């Protein structure tokens, strides 16, 4: 027995209403006659607005969106308009022609070309004024020291900064001892929590600063001639420079930072290279006063934060040259100890080899290799420090029994006389540094020449500075 399928399209004789969207062309829908979309469309037609504008599920430009716009246009055209009230007119006025009645079938044309409603052009907002420079920000921060409690927000270029350095940068007139006192007493809060001086900041953090009181600063006249001399002196030390960083050849005897009785230092001289935007070049790491060689300087705060992270993650590679007393039995070796200060309160105190767990003890790791020796009395040693502790190389050289010549803190060899022609100065050079560039990430490889007193000793002992350095093959960790 053969049965005929029921007709598609519902009860016989019923046709789909005109003007509605038919997703399958002329074929009638076989699903439910009432849906959420149908209800929304009917409600929209009753209100007289566009249902497509209220439809959050239909993306603009899709077939459903085009069909919805066409249906809305057809409904708006088919709806009868209210007849205006009759107004008495002057006989001389010409009669107004009646507007043409809408076509009975506008849906096809509306489906072929959807109706687009564009908002009226809005006047463009005025450009925001240029923000203050770094110099203006520091001046404003210093001027508001006595205004009470302040809440500061860490910017993107201040990421990774220590909390004490952050306060020093924001409030340059605030003494560093006062900064340390604020943090130590718990008066400063980061995101509502107490902070330690060595805590690192991240962008977006909220730093609550207590009321700060300072005497009004007196403007000290700055000598333009002296600033020019300082700038020329620093430029004569540049080994590498680009828009983000530079590497200086720090001379022997020049301190990196100020201290008790230290007036002339690299950090102070860098003020002469302050840019037009008020940004002063910043130190990234430190060298001892009597250590010569490569010193990295960041030109922007963002570059300083990135380079500092490279040092903390040990992505920077450093090689030092030294002239030491005696000849080590093991030509290449590894020194791994714990170092602690003899006087914890003294920043320049002598470091001693400590035990694991001692108060203030930090692990220090150094690789060394002997490049050359002279008469079994002096050695040219090359060091590769993995960690960066205070006086690490000087303390490790003394620990293995071969202190660095001219070291006033760690040289303690009995009955040892300085060979003639060799100056009694620290023979330690930051020879080479390789570090990822703060913006491109590519390695920046810079080498420093021997300082004058070391070059004199090398010539006297017959050492060739171009000789192969075996320390480059030492492990990196």
Active site residues: 288
Q: Which two structure tokens, joined as six digits, stand for 206?
A: 């909220």
pLDDT given at position 443: 94
3-class DSSP assignment, residue 434: strand
Query: Is the Cα torsion angle 126, 276, 301, 194 positive or negative in sign?
Result: negative
The C-alpha atoms of residue 366 and residue 193 are separated, in whole angstroms, by 37
Nearest residue to 284 via CA among 296, 275, 276, 293: 296
- Evaluate whether 106 touches 148 at the Cβ level (below 8 Å): no
The C-alpha atoms of residue 141 and residue 146 are separated, in whole angstroms, by 10
Which residues have C-beta within 8 Å of that of residue 19, sequence separation ≥ 6?
Answer: 71, 74, 75, 78, 107
The residue behind tokens 């002997």 is 370
The residue behind tokens 């020049």 is 254
The C-alpha atoms of residue 449 and residue 460 are separated, in whole angstroms, by 17
pLDDT given at position 434: 95
Q: Which of the residues in the chain have pLDDT under 70?
A: 1-37, 39-40, 44, 46-148, 172-173, 176, 213-222, 260, 344-347
CB atoms inside a 10 Å sphere around CB 312: 12
3-class DSSP assignment, residue 178: helix
CB atoms inside a 10 Å sphere around CB 246: 21
pLDDT given at position 107: 46
Where helices occur in 3-155 by DSSP H, the ranges are: 36-47, 63-78, 107-112, 134-143
pLDDT given at position 283: 92
pLDDT digits (tens, 9 = 90+) for 203-253: 888 888 887 765 444 445 567 888 889 999 999 999 999 999 999 999 999
pLDDT digits (tens, 9 = 90+) for 330-365: 999 999 999 998 886 666 788 999 999 888 899 999
| Angle formed by the axes of helices 163-170 and 134-143, nearest 10° | 90
- Evaluate whether 337 touches 440 at the Cβ level (below 8 Å): no
Beta strands in 423-464 (DSSP E): 428-436, 443-447
> E strand or H helix at 225, and its extent?
helix 224-235
CB atoms inside a 10 Å sphere around CB 186: 12
Pairing of strands 362-374, 292-298: unpaired
CA atoms within 13 A on the CB side of 333: 13
The residue behind tokens 């009753």 is 46
- Evaluate whether 145 touches 138 at the Cβ level (below 8 Å): no
> E strand or H helix at 229, and its extent?
helix 224-235
The residue behind tokens 């203030």 is 360
pLDDT given at position 113: 47
* Distance from the Cα of residue 397 to its chain's centroid: 36
The C-alpha atoms of residue 469 and residue 382 are separated, in whole angstroms, by 7
């Amino acid at each position: 027995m053969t049965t005929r399928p029921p007709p598609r399209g519902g009860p016989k004789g019923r046709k789909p209403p005109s003007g509605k969207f038919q997703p399958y062309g002329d074929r009638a829908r076989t699903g439910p006659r009432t849906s959420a979309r149908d209800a929304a469309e009917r409600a929209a037609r009753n209100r007289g607005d566009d249902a497509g504008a209220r439809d959050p599920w239909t993306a603009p430009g899709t077939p459903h969106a085009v069909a919805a716009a066409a249906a809305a246009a057809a409904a708006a055209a088919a709806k009868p308009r209210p007849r205006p009230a009759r107004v008495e007119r002057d006989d001389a006025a010409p009669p107004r022609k009646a507007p043409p009645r809408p076509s009975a079938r506008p849906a096809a044309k509306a489906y072929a070309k959807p109706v687009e409603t564009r908002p009226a052009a809005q006047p463009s907002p005025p450009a925001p004024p240029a923000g203050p420079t770094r110099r203006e920000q520091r001046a404003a921060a210093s001027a508001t020291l006595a205004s009470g409690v302040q809440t500061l927000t860490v910017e993107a270029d201040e990421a990774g900064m220590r909390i004490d350095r952050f306060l020093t940068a924001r409030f340059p007139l605030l003494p560093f001892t006062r900064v340390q006192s604020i943090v130590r007493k718990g008066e400063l809060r980061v995101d509502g929590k107490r902070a330690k001086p060595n805590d690192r900041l991240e962008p977006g953090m909220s730093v609550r600063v207590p009321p700060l009181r300072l005497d009004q600063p007196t403007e000290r006249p700055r000598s333009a001639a002296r600033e020019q001399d300082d700038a020329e002196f620093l430029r004569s030390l540049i080994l590498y420079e680009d828009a983000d960083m530079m590497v200086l050849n720090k001379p022997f005897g020049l301190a990196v930072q100020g201290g008790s009785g230290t007036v002339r230092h690299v950090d102070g001289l860098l003020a002469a290279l302050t840019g037009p935007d008020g940004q002063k070049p910043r130190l990234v790491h430190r060298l001892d006063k009597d250590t010569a060689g490569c010193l990295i300087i960041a030109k922007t705060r963002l570059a300083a934060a990135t380079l500092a992270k490279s040092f903390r993650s040990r992505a920077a590679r450093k090689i030092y040259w030294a002239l030491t007393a005696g000849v080590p039995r093991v030509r290449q070796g590894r020194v791994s100890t714990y170092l602690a200060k003899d006087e914890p309160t003294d920043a320049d105190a002598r470091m001693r080899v400590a035990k694991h767990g001692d108060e203030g003890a930090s692990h220090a790791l150094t690789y060394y290799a002997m490049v050359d020796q002279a008469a079994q009395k002096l050695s040219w040693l090359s060091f590769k420090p993995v960690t960066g502790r205070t006086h690490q190389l000087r303390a490790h050289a003394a620990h293995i029994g071969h202190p660095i010549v001219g070291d006033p803190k760690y040289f303690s060899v009995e009955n040892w006389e300085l060979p003639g022609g060799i100056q009694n100065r620290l023979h330690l050079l930051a020879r080479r540094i390789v570090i990822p560039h703060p913006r491109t990430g590519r390695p920046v490889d810079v080498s420093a020449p021997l300082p004058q007193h070391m070059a004199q000793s090398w010539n006297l002992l017959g050492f060739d500075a171009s000789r192969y350095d075996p320390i480059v093959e030492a492990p990196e960790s």
